Amino acid sequence: MDKDTARERIEYYQSEEYKELLREKNVLDAFQFLHTSFLYLNYALITRQLYNDTRANYKCEGIKDPFSPDVEIMNFHYSVDALLNKLSFEWISHISNAMDCLLQYINSALCLRLSHQAVKSEKMGKEVKQFENVFSRMDNLWNDKTVKYVRSFNNYSKHTIDLFGGSSLIDALQGDRDIIIPDFIYRGKLFESKRTSQLMGYYDTIFALFIDVLEAVYNALCDRDPISNRLHIAKVIIGKNSLGKKEYTNDIEIKVNYKEDGITVRRFWTEEVIKEDVEIMMMHSKIIGQNLSKISCIEVTQNGKLIGKLHAKDKLQDSTLQYIKYTFEREYDDLD
């Protein structure tokens, strides 16, 4: 895939058009993970630029003392090796976090139904095998030598207090600084030392493999039917005020009644025709706060008459958008 095509696909995957496809397939919860994954990849680019700029600035200033190097940033002096070391760690962390978010995205987009805590590359492999092309592209990414190195180092460094890379003596004497990550052993395998500039230079290859996975997931999504019995809260009515609007067949409207304090919710109800167990995604809005991120019970009414209640089965969380399972409890046995 050439750069122009890759750029077009990146823009598409972050667009409202792609978001609508996920909504149509009833896997809208996947979008948050894809968005965060792109954020981490962008952070990695920014970190690489900072790393290169710091090296370049130090060289421009000339060699003062190769054994006590420092750079001036906003009138403060920092050890150049300490700063570069931190940027090295951050770049690796951003790439690794992007891969973790990609796994969460695949889990949600393909509705593999693994819990967020259970999403690991080893478990995902077994679940994704039913999607041959996705499995193949994932395998290419996760078994790439540099990706393995980055993920292994990231996991290793989390549990190591004193892993510190530095520039070589020759680099120091020549006025250049480039963090060399020392050898390390992770899960019984020796990973030999690498220069940070060498790792960062591999970014474009990692990104290309990443896009290949997204393309495979996209094709799998286009080939499958929407997940059944999933709904989205698209409109909320509070008194005379409303937020959002219904645009799709799987959109529903929720009404909210507050107690006199204006903070505590008295009841949630809907006049939509719901007579079976469903999964509902809450509305994501900072305007209405967290009351609508974890609704334990929704009353179902018709013509002002209570016909049943939806009770949340899942443990409610407000940190991650998700489809929450609700069981429908009838109020009348003759309800048809």
Average pLDDT, the chain: 85
- For the segment 82-110, the average pLDDT, to the nearest whole number, is 93
Give the 3-state secondary structure of residue 185: strand
Query: Could you tell me what percent of the chain has a pLDDT over 70?
Result: 82
* Residue in 325, 281, 230 with CA at minimum distance from that of residue 29: 281
Determine the pLDDT at residue 292.
63
Lowest mean pLDDT among 101-115, 197-211, 279-293: 279-293
Give the 3-state secondary structure of residue 60: helix
Determine the pLDDT at residue 205.
94
pTM score: 0.85
Cβ-in-10-Å burial (0-12, 13-18, 19+) of 66 comes to: middle
- For the segment 71-80, the average pLDDT, to the nearest whole number, is 70
Q: How many CB atoms lie under 10 A from the CB of residue 183?
A: 9
pLDDT digits (tens, 9 = 90+) for 265-296: 889 999 999 999 999 988 765 555 445 667 88
